A and B are shown apart, each in its own frame.
Chain A
């Protein structure tokens, strides 16, 4: 159990542009992942597991799918007296501004009232753009033990230049104290931020008020880097599977990683990952089907051939259809004679009979929600 009362803040839209194809009508936090989940499920389940029930989800745009997913919060045991709250953007109602806030500082400034009235002493802020199962209780405990002002969860660096955009790198001294922070770059001796921060609520409030007064906008640069001497910023190393969603390609890879049971164990064994319950019936495999090396959620009907693929709930594969290296989201229908390779189909896409669609592994083809191909 946590020593002090804690609350969570999730920034649902912070990384929408990483996968802009898929976030046309949704936020990063509500991006479907792994057959039956949304990105936010890993974070909400982690908070629940740590005994944190007061959670604010800060949204900026496209938050309908997120609201639809979270509902009352019951699926994560968050429908409680001080439970989950979705906070739509305040800035739209601000006469001075014709657009929603930019950046984490302005977003937090927009919920100052909410934060001031909260009773929790410690705040966990998270972006929901990494696939990982963090031990939040452990992170908060270490934060207290280190007497840190800010703790940042981080993982081993990924030097792939394609994945460096918006990546935050941290350099530590021997004690794990952060001594340098870089954005969009990573060098030897640095680790990479998972965009999960632990900070005392009172400190956060004063830092935000101060930053706003100085017209600062970027949390990492204007608050963390600017105060790197005076604040004790501590790195928290998460051991275990981490994948940052930076592009369609990394999204594809992260889903494909689930085809290895070792990844599934790393993500789902530490604690249950909850998600919205759909009451889908079991998946039915037909007489003529052939399935190998695939991850399949409930509610599917498989009569055709499926290889190396991830099928979300309610996918239908007709007899004679072939699906290879694909991610088919909820209620995709693949009719007879269709051949798909390296395709990401968004929700409710229909591939009509005998269509042929093929791409390469490093450039998966994305088909928009409700398209009839």
Chain B
């Protein structure tokens, strides 16, 4: 028996990451030089003493399954518990894809019941943050709540983009509004819930039986529990938290790591972020290189200019190339004379010589046309090509081609 187990929702397609999630699920997208997005919730579990995690997968799970493996990098290879990948499966009475966040959990009631937990922590695999869930669990126990929802204070003018919790002075929620036009509070749901399992179990079964439900925690389970008068409490989190569901937010969150004010600290030895490591030698900075304000990982080779950028393991910047305000994912190569600005170059893609990839904001007349330029994984951008700001490349670019 386990006191609390975690269920990590990692099945989302992440369609707003476009080319980056063509072949991988969003939680497997590389982040922060040597991590993948899922490393953050998994490491949080490890650092919070939660040793049993079910990872619910559905969309393009191959790479994610491989990455999680037996869970050893997160110390989640346990005799009892540990990490388990849970895809949808066929049952005697038919089979279904996961129809919603709540349905994904309810299809796995037998898994949860095996551990007979008192509490279940629901997490999503697309957020970057460090959080000790054990503090939230303590509050959940102290308040005797049926459900505790982690919330973050957001600027009032942005509150209408979030699920907003309206709570009394004791943090007891009396109303939940999904993306309200006129928000009454600034407490945004982070998509992290702790439920008392026997309560949640009842609601999941009832929700499953309801054909009109969209089987979603935010849309169905939480409102129903509220209207039934169950005790739902807020847990206010005041650290760094970022939903990296869009190209812009993914780029920003990476850049936050090189912000000299360090809004997000991954260097804290007492709260390490763990990841599956490749065996690369240390990185090499040549005598032709110039590197400033950047993150560089093992296996990189830099002979060009790198400024305000994040270079993942094994990235290469050749002599005379410039990489500025950009992200080079594992194995990305920028060849001689190319300039990469405000861009994301995905895994193993190659920018051939003298390419102009992405643009600086001041190079674009109409600012609304400016944005981060992206090339998906395993592609080649041919010699001398010009790729304009905000382009999203799914295919190779020919030599000398101009892409908008």
Is chain B found bound to chain A in the same assembly?
Answer: yes
Q: Is A298 an interface residue (CB 8 A)?
A: yes
Q: Contacts A281-B33, A286-B260 hold; do A264 and B296 have CB atoms under 8 A apart?
A: no
The answer for the CA separation of A289 and B296 in the assembled complex, in Å, is 13
Contact of B34 among A281, A285, A290, A292 (CB under 8 A): A281
CB-CB contacts below 8 Å: B251-310 with A = 257-258, 260, 266-267, 272-275, 277-298, 301, 310
Q: Is B32 an interface residue (CB 8 A)?
A: yes
The answer for the CA separation of A268 and B266 in the assembled complex, in Å, is 28
The 8 A CB mask of B322-363 against A (1 = contact, 0 = none) is 000000000000000000000000000000000000000000
Output the least CB separation between A180 and chain B (Å): 38
Q: Is the CB of B297 within 8 A of A275?
A: no
Q: Is A162 an interface residue (CB 8 A)?
A: no
Q: Is A274 an interface residue (CB 8 A)?
A: yes
The answer for the CA separation of A315 and B292 in the assembled complex, in Å, is 17
The 8 A CB mask of A45-89 against B (1 = contact, 0 = none) is 100000000000000000000000000001000000000000000
Q: Is the CB of A292 within 8 A of B298?
A: no
| Residues of the A chain whose Cβ atoms lie less than 8 Å from the Cβ of B258 | 284
Q: Is the CB of B282 within 8 A of A74?
A: no
Q: Is the CB of A287 within 8 A of B293?
A: yes
Q: Is the CB of A279 within 8 A of B286?
A: no
Q: Contacts A289-B291, A291-B289 hold; do A296 and B281 have CB atoms under 8 A apart?
A: no
| Residues of the B chain whose Cβ atoms lie less than 8 Å from the Cβ of A264 | 281, 284
Q: Is the CB of B277 within 8 A of A277?
A: yes
Identity of the chain A residue whose Cβ is nearest the Cβ of B274 in the assembled complex? A279
| Residues of the A chain whose Cβ atoms lie less than 8 Å from the Cβ of B257 | 282
Q: Is B224 an interface residue (CB 8 A)?
A: no
Q: Is A34 an interface residue (CB 8 A)?
A: yes
Interface centre among B266, B282, B290 (most CB of A within 10 A): B282
Q: Is the CB of B279 within 8 A of A286?
A: no
Q: Is A36 an interface residue (CB 8 A)?
A: yes
The answer for the CA separation of A286 and B236 in the assembled complex, in Å, is 33
The answer for the CA separation of A19 and B285 in the assembled complex, in Å, is 29
Output the least CB separation between B57 and chain A (Å): 24
The 8 A CB mask of A127-146 against B (1 = contact, 0 = none) is 00000000000000000000
Q: Is B72 an interface residue (CB 8 A)?
A: yes
CB-CB contacts below 8 Å: A335-359 with B = none
Q: Is A270 an interface residue (CB 8 A)?
A: no
Q: Is B218 an interface residue (CB 8 A)?
A: no
CB-CB contacts below 8 Å: A27-46 with B = 34-36, 45
Contact of B301 among A258, A261, A277, A290 (CB under 8 A): A261
Contact of B287 among A35, A292, A301 (CB under 8 A): A292
Q: Is the CB of A289 within 8 A of B266?
A: no
| Residues of the A chain whose Cβ atoms lie less than 8 Å from the Cβ of B294 | 284-285
Q: Is A23 an interface residue (CB 8 A)?
A: no
Q: Is the CB of A34 within 8 A of B281?
A: yes
The answer for the CA separation of A263 and B288 in the assembled complex, in Å, is 18
How many chain A residues touch the partner (CB < 8 A)? Answer: 39
Q: Is the CB of A291 within 8 A of B285?
A: yes
Q: Is B73 an interface residue (CB 8 A)?
A: yes
Q: Is the CB of B297 within 8 A of A298?
A: yes
Q: Is the CB of A297 within 8 A of B282?
A: yes
| Residues of the B chain whose Cβ atoms lie less than 8 Å from the Cβ of A36 | 281-282, 298
| Residues of the B chain whose Cβ atoms lie less than 8 Å from the Cβ of A268 | 280-281
Q: Is the CB of A293 within 8 A of B73?
A: no
Q: Contacts A261-B301, A282-B296, A285-B296 hold; do A34 and B282 have CB atoms under 8 A apart?
A: yes
Q: Is the CB of B273 within 8 A of A279?
A: yes
Q: Is the CB of B277 within 8 A of A261?
A: no
Q: Contacts A279-B273, A287-B292 hold; do A293 and B287 have CB atoms under 8 A apart?
A: yes
Identity of the chain A residue whose Cβ is nearest the Cβ of B265 in the assembled complex? A281
Contact of A283 among B275, B283, B287 (CB under 8 A): B283
Q: Is A294 an interface residue (CB 8 A)?
A: yes
The answer for the CA separation of A310 and B293 in the assembled complex, in Å, is 20
The answer for the CA separation of A250 and B46 in the assembled complex, in Å, is 42
Identity of the chain B residue whose Cβ is nearest the Cβ of A308 in the assembled complex? B287
Q: Is the CB of A289 within 8 A of B273?
A: no
The answer for the CA separation of A268 and B298 in the assembled complex, in Å, is 12
| Residues of the B chain whose Cβ atoms lie less than 8 Å from the Cβ of A298 | 34, 282, 297-298
| Residues of the A chain whose Cβ atoms lie less than 8 Å from the Cβ of B267 | 281, 284, 299, 301
The answer for the CA separation of A311 and B281 in the assembled complex, in Å, is 12
Interface centre among B258, B291, B294 (most CB of A within 10 A): B291
Q: Is the CB of A292 within 8 A of B286?
A: yes
Q: Is A273 an interface residue (CB 8 A)?
A: yes
Q: Is the CB of A297 within 8 A of B298?
A: yes
The answer for the CA separation of A299 and B295 in the assembled complex, in Å, is 10
Q: Contacts A291-B285, A292-B287, A295-B283 hold; do A279 and B272 have CB atoms under 8 A apart?
A: yes
| Residues of the B chain whose Cβ atoms lie less than 8 Å from the Cβ of A103 | none
The answer for the CA separation of A323 and B278 in the assembled complex, in Å, is 29
| Residues of the A chain whose Cβ atoms lie less than 8 Å from the Cβ of B72 | 74
Output the least CB separation between A197 and chain B (Å): 26
The answer for the CA separation of A204 and B151 in the assembled complex, in Å, is 68
Q: Contacts A279-B273, A281-B34, A296-B283 hold; do A286 and B289 have CB atoms under 8 A apart?
A: no
Identity of the chain A residue whose Cβ is nearest the Cβ of B279 in the assembled complex? A272
Q: Is the CB of A286 within 8 A of B293?
A: yes
Q: Contacts A284-B267, A285-B293 hold; do A273 and B279 have CB atoms under 8 A apart?
A: yes
Q: Is the CB of A261 within 8 A of B295?
A: no
Output the least CB separation between B64 and chain A (Å): 20
Q: Is the CB of B282 within 8 A of A35?
A: yes
Q: Is the CB of A274 within 8 A of B282?
A: no
| Residues of the A chain whose Cβ atoms lie less than 8 Å from the Cβ of B33 | 281-282
The answer for the CA separation of A258 and B272 in the assembled complex, in Å, is 29
Output the least CB separation between B305 and chain A (Å): 12
Identity of the chain B residue whose Cβ is nearest the Cβ of A282 in the assembled complex? B33
Contact of B275 among A34, A279, A287 (CB under 8 A): A279
The 8 A CB mask of A309-337 against B (1 = contact, 0 = none) is 01100000000000000000000000000
Contact of A284 among B277, B288, B289, B295 (CB under 8 A): B295
| Residues of the A chain whose Cβ atoms lie less than 8 Å from the Cβ of B288 | 292
Q: Is A259 an interface residue (CB 8 A)?
A: yes
The answer for the CA separation of A178 and B46 in the assembled complex, in Å, is 56
The answer for the CA separation of A64 and B279 in the assembled complex, in Å, is 24
| Residues of the A chain whose Cβ atoms lie less than 8 Å from the Cβ of B274 | 279
- A sample of 12 more A-B contacts (CB under 8 A), given A282-B310, A283-B297, is A261-B284, A264-B281, A268-B280, A277-B277, A281-B33, A282-B34, A285-B295, A291-B291, A292-B286, A292-B289, A293-B287, A295-B284
- For the complex of A and B, the 5 pairs showing the least CB-CB separation, nearest first, are A282-B33, A35-B282, A272-B279, A297-B282, A293-B287
Q: Which B residues fall within an 8 A CB radius of A?
A: 32-34, 72-73, 257-258, 260, 266-267, 272-275, 277-298, 301, 310
Q: List 24 A-B contacts (CB under 8 A).
A: A36-B282, A74-B72, A258-B281, A261-B284, A264-B281, A267-B281, A268-B281, A274-B279, A277-B73, A279-B73, A279-B272, A279-B273, A279-B277, A282-B295, A285-B296, A286-B292, A289-B291, A291-B289, A293-B285, A295-B282, A296-B285, A297-B283, A298-B282, A299-B267
